[in-house]
C-alpha cells in the first residue's frame, strides 16, 4: 500500500501543478498543501524542505525523501513509481529524449514564460522592450515545438510521456501572460495546438486543471 | 544498469560559454575521448540545417554519440546531456555521480535543475540587461542581478553546511560542474563573488581540479577569470552590437 505523498503547492503558480499532473497520471495518493508565498515560503520550517524558498516540494513517506525543483521531482516519481513505463521509455534512445525535452521545458519554457508573466502582469511600470523580449521568446519556444511536432502526435515515440505533460501548465497561462503580444496559437502553430488539445483531453490533466481552477477561485 | 560501459564515439558541438564548458568539463572529469567542434555563434552556425538536425532549438551545447544499438543518438540541453554521460560512462566507478536510484542521485537532480531552470536563465537575463540591451533599463538590471544574488545566497548557505565542500555528499558531481561556469562568470553579470565566501571557496576548489582546468578551455581559452573590468566592457560592447543586429533580424522574421 502506497502511503500518501505530500505536495507543497500554490494555487496559481504553474510548477506545483506540473507535478500534480504526474501524480494523477500515475494514480498515486497525494495530499496538496498550499504554502503562503508572502509569509511561509521563504521561512522555516518550509526552507528546511526547500532551501530555495519556492514551490513545489514533495515529501514521500514511502521512501523518506524530500525533494524540490519540479523537474527533479518528476524524474523521481517516474523512476520510482512508473513501473509499467506508462509515461516513459526504458528503451534507447527514447529514454534520453524524454529527459532532453523535460530539461528544455524547465530551462527554456518555464523561466521565459515566467518573465513574460512578470512584465505583462505584475511589474508596476510598462517596460515595452522587456515585454517584447519575452513575448518573442514565448513565440520562439512555441515555434520550436511546432516544428518538432509536425507529423508527430507526441514529442518522443508514439505515446504521451512525462516530457509532453511538463509543458501543459505554463501553456495554460500563455494567453494571460503574453498580454500585448497577441499570439494566434491555433493559426500560427497548428501542430503545437493539436498536441496541447490532445494533452488537455486526458482525464488526469483535466482533473488537475479543474482542481487548479477551484483553488484559484476559492 | 549494466556493469560494463560501451566505447564512446562522441562529437561535442560547443562554444566558449558557461553551458558549453559544462559538457567538456564533464567529459574531462570522466576521462573519455571526444571530438570538440567549435560552433561560431557570430556566424550563426547554430542555425544551419546540420546543427538544427541535432538540436531543433538552435542552441549549444549539443552532442552525438554511437548508441549501444549501433545508431547515432543526438542530444541537446546541457542538463540532459550530463545525465546521459554519467548514466552511460560513470555507472561503474561513480567518479562524478551516485548510483541510479540512490538518495544522492535524486539530490544531485535538485541542484542540476536549480542551475538549469534558475541560476542559468536568471544570470543570463542579468547579462542581457547589464551588458547587451539596446537601452539601459535600471529595473531590468537590478531585477536579474538581485535574483542571481538570491540564488547565490542559497548556494552559499548550502555550501556552508557541506562537510565535503561540494553540493551533494562527499564528492564533486555533475551538480557542481553545471554551476561552475556560471559562477566563474559572475563578474560578467555584474555580481561580486566576494559577497559569497563559501561559494567563492567552492569556485576555487573546483578550479583546482585537473578535469575542470582542462575542460574549461574547450573549444577556446576560458578567459573569464583573467579579464579585467575594462576588458569585459570592451568585449561586451562588441557582443552587444552583434546581438542587437541579430535580434533586429529575428524580429523581421515574425
C-alpha cell at A65: 525523501
What pLDDT, on a 0 to 100 scale, did the predictor assign at position A70? 98
Is any Cβ of chain A less than 8 angstroms from the Cβ of B79? yes
pLDDT class for A209, splitting at 50, 70, 90?
A: very high
pLDDT at B5: 75
Residues 6+ apart with CB under 8 A from B147: B122, B126
Q: Residues A154, A97: contact at Cβ < 8 Å? A: no
The burial class, CB within 10 Å (0-12 / 13-18 / 19+), for A184 is exposed
Residues in chain B with CB shorter than 8 Å from the CB of A76 are 106, 109
Chain-centre distance of CA A122, in angstroms? 20
Say if residues B55 and B218 touch (Cβ distance below 8 Å).
no
Distance (Å) from the alpha carbon of B107 to chain A's nearest alpha carbon: 7
Q: What pLDDT is attached to residue A83?
A: 96
**Euclidean distance between the first and final Cα of chain B, in Å?**
46
Chain B residues inside the 8 Å CB shell of A77 = none
Q: How far is CA A216 from the centre of its chain?
A: 17
Contact B80 A147 (CB under 8 A): no
pLDDT class for A136, splitting at 50, 70, 90? Answer: very high
Q: Which of these, A151, A145, A175, lies nearest to A163 by C-alpha position?
A: A145
- Give the model's pLDDT for residue B3: 46
Task: Over range A157-178, report the average pLDDT.
Answer: 96
Select the residue from A41, A69, A108, A187 to test the B interface by mutation, using most B Cβ atoms within 10 A. A69
Q: What is the spatial distance between Cα B27 and Cα A18, in angstroms, rounded to a whole number?
A: 32
ipTM exceeding 0.95, yes/no: no
Q: Which residue of A83, A96, A192 is the best one to mutate when testing the B interface, meaning the one whose CB has the most B CBs within 10 A?
A: A96
Stretch A58-80: mean pLDDT, rounded? 97
Whether chain B has a CB inside 8 Å of the CB on A52: the answer is yes
Contacts of A133 in chain B (CB under 8 A): 128
Answer whether A136 sits within 8 Å of B121, measured CB to CB: no
pLDDT on residue B114: 98
As a whole number, mean pLDDT of residues A174-202 equals 94
Contacts of A112 in chain B (CB under 8 A): 121
pLDDT tens by residue, A16-61? 999 999 999 999 999 999 999 888 999 999 999 999 999 999 999 9
> How close is the nearest chain A Cα to the Cα of B182, in Å?
14
Q: What is the pLDDT of residue B238?
A: 84
CB contacts under 8 A, B 160-189 vs A, are: none
Q: What is the pLDDT of residue B1?
A: 40
Judged by CB atoms closer than 8 Å, whether chains meet at A129 and B57 is answered as no
pTM of the predicted protein model: 0.89
- The predicted model gives A108-135 an average pLDDT of 94
Q: Report the range of poorest mean pLDDT among A17-21, A158-162, A177-181, B33-37.
A: A177-181
Q: What is the mean pLDDT of residues A146-170?
A: 98
Residues in chain B predicted with pLDDT less than 50, given as ranges, are 1-3, 254
CA dist., res. A179 & res. A126, Å (int)? 12
How far apart CA B55 and CA A82 sit, in angstroms, is 28
| Record: contact A69-B77, CB cut-off 8 A | no
Q: Give CA separation, B224 vs B18, B116, B185, B243, in Å.
A: 10, 20, 6, 19
SS3 for A150?
Answer: coil
- Residues pairing with B72 in the sheet: B66
Residue A121 has a pLDDT of 92
Amino acid at each position: 500500500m502506497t502511503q500518501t505523498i505530500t505536495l507543497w503547492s500554490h494555487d496559481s503558480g504553474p510548477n506545483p501543478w506540473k507535478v500534480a499532473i504526474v501524480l494523477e497520471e500515475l494514480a498515486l495518493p497525494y495530499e496538496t498543501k498550499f504554502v503562503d508565498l508572502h509569509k511561509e515560503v521563504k521561512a522555516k520550517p518550509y526552507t528546511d524542505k526547500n532551501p530555495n524558498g519556492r514551490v513545489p516540494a514533495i515529501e514521500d513517506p514511502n521512501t523518506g525523501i524530500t525533494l524540490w525543483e519540479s523537474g527533479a521531482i518528476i524524474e523521481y516519481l517516474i523512476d520510482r513509481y512508473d513501473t509499467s513505463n506508462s509515461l516513459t521509455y526504458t528503451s534507447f534512445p527514447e529514454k534520453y529524449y524524454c529527459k532532453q525535452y523535460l530539461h528544455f521545458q524547465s530551462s527554456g519554457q518555464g523561466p521565459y514564460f515566467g518573465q513574460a508573466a512578470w512584465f505583462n502582469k505584475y511589474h508596476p511600470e510598462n517596460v515595452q522592450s522587456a515585454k517584447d523580449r519575452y513575448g518573442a521568446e514565448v513565440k520562439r519556444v512555441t515555434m520550436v515545438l511546432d516544428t518538432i511536432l509536425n507529423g508527430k502526435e507526441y514529442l518522443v515515440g508514439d505515446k504521451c510521456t512525462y516530457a509532453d505533460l511538463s509543458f501543459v501548465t505554463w501553456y495554460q497561462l500563455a494567453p494571460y501572460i503574453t498580454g500585448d503580444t497577441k499570439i494566434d496559437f491555433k493559426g500560427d502553430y497548428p501542430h503545437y495546438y493539436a498536441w496541447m488539445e490532445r494533452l488537455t483531453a486526458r482525464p488526469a490533466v483535466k482533473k488537475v486543471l479543474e482542481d487548479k481552477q477551484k483553488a484559484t477561485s476559492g | 544498469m549494466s556493469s560494463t560501459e560501451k566505447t564512446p564515439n562522441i562529437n561535442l558541438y560547443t562554444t566558449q560559454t558557461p553551458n558549453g564548458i559544462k559538457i567538456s568539463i564533464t567529459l574531462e572529469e570522466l576521462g573519455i575521448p571526444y571530438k570538440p567542434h567549435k560552433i561560431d555563434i557570430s556566424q550563426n552556425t547554430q542555425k544551419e540545417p546540420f546543427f538544427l538536425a541535432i538540436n531543433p532549438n538552435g542552441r549549444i551545447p549539443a552532442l552525438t554519440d554511437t548508441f549501444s544499438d549501433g545508431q547515432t543518438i543526438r542530444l541537446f540541453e546541457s542538463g540532459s546531456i550530463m545525465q546521459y554521460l554519467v548514466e552511460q560512462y560513470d555507472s561503474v566507478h561513480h567518479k562524478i555521480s551516485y548510483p541510479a536510484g540512490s538518495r544522492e542521485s535524486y539530490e544531485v537532480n535538485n541542484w542540476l535543475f536549480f542551475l538549469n531552470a534558475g541560476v542559468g536563465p536568471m544570470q543570463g537575463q542579468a547579462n542581457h540587461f547589464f551588458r547587451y540591451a539596446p537601452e539601459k533599463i535600471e529595473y531590468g538590471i537590478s531585477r536579474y542581478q538581485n535574483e542571481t544574488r538570491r540564488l547565490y545566497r542559497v548556494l552559499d548557505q548550502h555550501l556552508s553546511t557541506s562537510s565535503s565542500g561540494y553540493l551533494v555528499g562527499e564528492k564533486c558531481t555533475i551538480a557542481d560542474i553545471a554551476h561552475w561556469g556560471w559562477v566563474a562568470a559572475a563578474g560578467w553579470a555584474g555580481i561580486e563573488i566576494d559577497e559569497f565566501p563559501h561559494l567563492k571557496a567552492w569556485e576555487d576548489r573546483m578550479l583546482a581540479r585537473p578535469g575542470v582546468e582542462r575542460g574549461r578551455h574547450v573549444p577556446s581559452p576560458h578567459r573569464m577569470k583573467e579579464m579585467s573590468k575594462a576588458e569585459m566592457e570592451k568585449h561586451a560592447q562588441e557582443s552587444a552590437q552583434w546581438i542587437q543586429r541579430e535580434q533586429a533580424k529575428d524580429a523581421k522574421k515574425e
